[in-house]
Amino acid sequence: MYDYLIVGSGLYGSVCARELTDAGKKVLVIDKRDHIAGNVYTKKIEGINVHIYGAHIFHTNNTKVWEYVQKFATFNRFTNSPVANYNGELYSLPFNMYTFNKMWGVVTPEEAFAKIEEQKKAAGITEPKNLEEQAISLVGTDIYEKLIKGYTKKQWGRPCSQLPSFIIKRLPVRFTFDNNYFNALYQGIPVGGYTKMVEKMLEGIELKLSVNYFDNREYWNTAAKKIIFTGPIDEFFSYELGNLEYRSVRFQTEILEKQNFQGNAAVNYTDADTPWTRIIEHKWFEFGKDEHGNELPKTVISKEYSSEWKPGDEPYYPVNDEKNGKLYQQYLAKALKEENVIFGGRLGEYKYYDMDQVIALALQKVTELVEQ
Ligand code: UDP
């Protein structure tokens, strides 16, 4: 009999497993995949740590979380600065003075600000009610049309007018020359990859891979006093109220016989017609050097295609709009009645969390559990 069965070895599950074990609890982690680390999993291909389930750039303002992850990995000084490619025109991201200069030829922050105000006024937006209005009121119609509209439609499969405005607020808008995508005190990628970091978190903890909780849930429900479930909350309840909507992503990964394909870790294709949303060139997350300091002869890229989730697909992004929010509340009400089950992580809580938020929530949850 275990104190805790943890379903899923992503960041939420692995942090809980580490902390509960260190607090003297007997823990078992199971994962349906044949590897640990959930969607932060990285795999070495051609000497490069490939982000198999999409790019993950660790960034946080939470000093406690930053200090916590240092226990399990050394972080490099990677700073995310994606480039937007709109039909061959390149723009700096996030939206900053380099972007404004390229878009309008403006030189000073005052000129950029005036341009945005003018476009915002012409669009007649006072109180933004959705992503489209929010975007226009932040950066004006030109940037919205070229860098946001097509990308967002591809990414979410819905027009910007039907999406919540908080999604676009993830991106900073700056009147300075600064291409750092995140407003975060701390940022980096674990040296050696995320898998190595999670391996270290799970050191000495009992783990069973390729084990699906749902294949034998009656058995697993009796194996531990409590369960920490990090899979989709609607799947836990057999989708009985209907399924929550997710976006899924398909990755087309290629090994190229060249050293440098696009000169940057991430290039977003922001027009509506290019079928992929972005291309990731994984070596630039770690500066393209192998362990001996040599330039790697090859490169690995992944094209990302976004699609609506259907049963059998991997869920990646919860669609946090009103309709799904209401359904989630109903599932949450059911979850709260499950005294011995804790739901956590992006899928367990159906929230578009970043990695640092997931870690902070896991640490908080374990503190609560241990104090009980
Ligand atoms: N976005 C955009 N154009 C871009 C990059 C982002 O319009 O070139 C919008 C898009 O709606 C996206 C949101 O900003 O869903 C958040 O982007 P972020 O890069 O945070 O998404 P993630 O990396 O989590 O996929």
147/99 Cα distance (integer angstroms): 10
Residues 58 and 121 in one domain: no
- For residue 232, being part of any structural domain is answered with yes
Q: Is 4 a catalytic residue?
A: no
Tell me if residue 369 falls in helix, strand or coil: helix
What would the two tokens of residue 210 be? 């390729």
Is there a single domain that holds both residue 192 and residue 150? no
The confidence score (pLDDT) of residue 115 equals 98
Looking up tokens 């291409």 gives 179
Label residue 192 left, alpha or beta by phi (over 0 means left) and psi (-120 to 50 means alpha). left
- The alpha carbon dihedral of 188, 56, 137, 100 has a sign of positive
Task: Say what the pLDDT of residue 361 is.
Answer: 98
Is 250 known to be catalytic? no
Pocket perturbation via mutation, ligand 1, pick of 163, 170, 285 by most ligand atoms within 8 A of CB: 170
| 151 Cβ closer than 6 Å to some ligand 1 atom | yes
Residue 108 neighbours by CB under 8 Å, 6+ apart: none
Q: Is the peptide bond before 94 cis (omega within 30 degrees of 0)?
A: yes
Contacts 24+ apart (CB under 8 A), 18-23: 18/201, 18/202, 18/205, 19/362, 19/363, 19/366, 19/370, 20/366, 20/369, 20/370, 21/204, 21/205, 23/366, 23/370
Encoded amino acid at 224, one letter: A
- Euclidean distance between CA atoms 227 and 150, whole angstroms: 41
| Among 67, 110, 170, 295, the one annotated catalytic | 170
Alpha carbons within 13 angstroms on the beta-carbon side of residue 45 total 18
Q: Is the CB of 152 under 6 A from ligand 1?
A: yes
CA 169–ligand 1 middle distance (angstroms): 9
CA distance 208 to 9: 10
Please identify, by atom number, the ligand 1 atom nearest to the C-alpha of residue 135: 7
Handedness of CA 263, 266, 270, 271 (dihedral sign): positive
Do 56 and 153 share a domain, yes or no?
no
Give CA–CA dist 18/363, Å, rounded.
10
Q: 19, 132, 304, 356: which is the annotated catalytic residue? A: 304
**Alpha carbon of 133 to ligand 1 centroid (Å):** 16
Residue 345 belongs to a domain = yes
Q: Give the end of a domain, one of 111, 135, 170.
A: 170
Number of domains into which the chain is organized: 2
Q: Per the residue annotation, which of 53, 174, 213, 234 is the catalytic one?
A: 174
**269 CA to centre of ligand 1 in angstroms:** 11
Q: What is the CATH number of the domain that holds 366?
A: 3.40.50.720
Asked whether 295 and 259 are in contact (CB, 8 A), the reply is yes
pTM: 0.96
Atom of ligand 1 nearest to the CA of 352: 24
3-class secondary structure, 31 = coil
106 with 138, same domain: the answer is: yes
pLDDT tens digits, the chain, 372 residues: what are they? Answer: 999 999 999 999 999 999 999 999 999 999 999 999 999 999 999 999 999 999 999 999 999 999 999 999 999 999 999 999 999 999 999 999 999 999 999 999 999 999 999 999 999 998 999 999 999 999 999 999 999 999 999 999 999 999 999 999 989 999 999 999 999 999 999 999 999 999 999 999 999 999 999 999 999 999 999 999 999 999 999 999 999 999 999 999 999 999 999 999 999 999 999 999 999 999 999 988 777 888 899 999 999 999 999 988 999 999 988 999 999 999 999 999 999 999 999 999 999 999 999 999 999 999 999 998
Q: Is residue 353 part of a domain?
A: yes
Q: Is 276 inside a domain boundary? A: no
DSSP string across 132-162: HHHHHHHHHHHHIIIIIIHHHHHHHSS-GGG
| Residue 278 a catalytic site member | yes
158 is catalytic: no
Model pLDDT, residue 52: 98
State whether the beta carbon of 182 lies less than 6 angstroms from ligand 1: no
Name the residue range of residue 135's domain.
Answer: 83-170
Residue 58 lies in a domain: yes
Instruction: Estimate the share of the chain in helix, then strand, then coil, as percent rounded to the nearest 5.
Output: 40, 20, 40
User: Do 65 and 89 fall into the same domain?
Assistant: no
Place of tokens 């994606």: 82
Domain check: are 236 and 328 in the same one?
yes
Residue 170 annotated as catalytic: yes
**Residue to substitute in 92, 148, 270 for testing ligand 1 pocket (most ligand atoms within 8 angstroms of CB):** 148
Residue among 153, 181, 168 at smallest CA distance from 84: 181
Angle between helices 131-143 and 109-123 in degrees, nearest 10: 120
With beta carbons less than 8 A apart as the criterion, state whether 281 and 261 touch. Answer: yes
170 lines ligand 1 (CB under 6 A): yes
Same domain (yes/no): 18, 95: no
Q: Whose CA is nearest to atom 19 of ligand 1?
A: 171
DSSP E strands: which ranges in 184-245? Answer: 186-188, 206-208, 224-229
154 shares a domain with 216: no
Mutate to test the pocket of ligand 1, among 83, 153, 167, 353 (most ligand atoms within 8 A of CB): 167
For residue 164, being part of any structural domain is answered with: yes
Catalytic residue among 132, 144, 181, 278: 278
Does 131 lie in the same domain as 71? no
CA of 331 to the centre of ligand 1 (A): 27
Q: What pLDDT is stored for residue 293 in this prediction?
A: 80
